[in-house]
Amino acid sequence: MKRIAIFGATGSIGCSTLDLIGRTPDAYSVEVLTGGRNIERLAAQAKHHGAALAVTAHEEALPELRERLAGSRVEAAAGRAALIEAAQRPADWTMSAIVGAAGLAPGLAALAQGNTLALANKESLVTAGPLLMERARQHGARILPVDSEHSAVFQALAGERIEAVERVIITASGGALRDWPQERLAHATPEEAGAHPNWDMGQRITIDSASMFNKALELIETHEFFGIAPEKIETLVHPESMIHAMVGFVDGALMAHVGPADMRHAIGYALHWPERRALPVERLDFAALGGFTFRAPDEDRWPALRLAREVMAAGGLSGAIFNAAKEAALDAFLARRIGFMQMAQIVERVLARMSGDVSLSGDLDLDKVEQADHLARIRAGEEIAALSGRMPERAGATYSLT
């Protein structure tokens, strides 16, 4: 029996993971499930899957969690420390599917067990990629990518030498606003940006898809995870979301990974790796599909892509700053304090303001990453206030690392 822990069980990736596990319950023992404010769902999942422990990130929600779990054998816990403690409970396979930089600390703690971390939380690679990869090496743990593009690249690389890779192309649907005239984008609402044409995902990543901040994070994720040079990584707009990535080799061959837009493929691949097992995803009918289309990404329309290149060139703490500023800008957009195109402006300004910060130089360590994350949220708050003409809100809102 494979012992399973799922961080972010109540979210889109978490639910898809439980969907797969629930199909062959005898093969798994669910040790840990964690969630945020949706206590009803967390408790229902924990009871249904017979979890040993359920943890909510919010301490004030503990009484409700206890009440909903009353009479079951599920242990209840809450808060940041409880999340870390849960990541230290023995598990063979841990899914990291918390959204945002908040996923970093539990992921790092889980790696210390030396087992498998299925990584959906791309923000932890963007924020602290070298730390995460080093932690895995130190403890002999394995990280398996659970982003559709990175799972695709990983699969295309099976049996290949990384030196033979000439380029990696990660595709982007272009998100909900792909076909809007550019001048309308400034006025897009969270509802409009949050309606994805192809993928059914959490609200934050769906809006990040429309702004291409998601693809920007994924460019950095590709660089950090596979160690591929930034100039070898390309983005291609592919509105049908059927080809998830292509890997080009020195002999001119391209291996493309094609499949339906269903995260259960990437999750299932990581769950069963190194084997392939049957998965309940749609089988594609190419004759019915007719064709695929592609276009070059427009960096005026999606400035996040240009910013990702700057972050990869700068390295160090710029990924942590980039991600934290992006999370703060997204919060402000969701709160209707800034416009859709202002998210990239905020991130660009925060990166520029913090680029010369001497207190953040030197070797990368967790303290510095947390400090950079914290400061970037404060700077972003100031920039947001300047743009929206209001006072800065308390720094480090929901998703802060510190």
Q: Would you list which residues are annotated within the binding site? A: 10-13, 36-38, 121-123, 147-149, 173, 196, 202, 209, 214-215, 218
199 binds ligand NAD (CB under 6 A): yes
- Residues 130-159 touching ligand NAD, rule: CB under 6 A, are 147
**For residue 28, what are its two tokens?**
């798994």
- Binding track over 311-340 against Mg ion, x by CB under 5 A: ------------------------------
Residue 113 interacts with ligand NAD (CB under 6 A): yes or no: no
Cα–Cα distances (Å) from 67 to 38, 81, 85, 272, 401, in that order, read 14, 21, 22, 35, 29
- Kindly state whether residue 194 participates in binding ligand NAD, applying the rule CB under 6 A: no
Q: Is the torsion defined by CA of 372, 391, 331, 343 positive or negative?
A: negative
C-alpha torsion sign, points 113, 116, 121, 126: positive
**Residues 56 to 95: which contact ligand NAD by CB under 6 A?**
57
Q: Round to the nearest angstrom and report the end-to-end CA distance of the chain.
A: 36
392 contacts ligand NAD (rule: CB under 6 A): no
From the list 4, 14, 107, 219, which residue makes contact with ligand NAD (rule: CB under 6 A)? 14
From the list ligand NAD, Mg ion, none, which binds 263 (C-beta under 5 to 8 Å, kind-based)?
ligand NAD
DSSP lists the bridge partners of residue 116 as: 93, 142
Helices (H), 259-302: 264-272, 286-289
CA separation for the pair 198, 184 (Å, rounded): 22
Interface positions, 135-154, toward Mg ion (CB under 5 A): 147-149
The total number of residues shown for the chain amounts to 402
170 counts as binding ligand NAD under rule CB under 6 A: no
Q: Least distance in Å: CB of 356 to ligand NAD?
A: 30
Verify binding: residue 123, Mg ion, rule CB under 5 A: no
Q: Which of 57, 58, 46, 55 is nearest to 18 (CA)?
A: 46
Q: Which two tokens stand for residue 325?
A: 């500023």
Instruction: Using the minimum distance from each CB to ligand NAD, give the nearer residue, 99 or 216.
Output: 99
Choose from Mg ion, ligand NAD, none: what does 13 bind? Cβ within 5-8 Å by kind: ligand NAD
Segment 326 to 365, residues that bind ligand NAD, using CB under 6 A:
none
Alpha-carbon distance of 62 to 76, in angstroms, equals 7
Binder of ligand NAD out of 21, 36, 109, 328 (CB under 6 A)? 36
Closest residue by beta carbon to Mg ion: 147
Q: Are 27 and 2 in contact (CB under 8 A)?
A: yes
| Structure tokens belonging to residue 73 | 């054998």
Q: Which spans of this chain sit near ligand NAD (rule: CB under 6 A)?
A: 8-14, 35-36, 57, 97-100, 102, 120-123, 147, 199, 201-202, 204-205, 263, 398-399
Q: Which spans of this chain sit near Mg ion (rule: CB under 5 A)?
A: 147-149
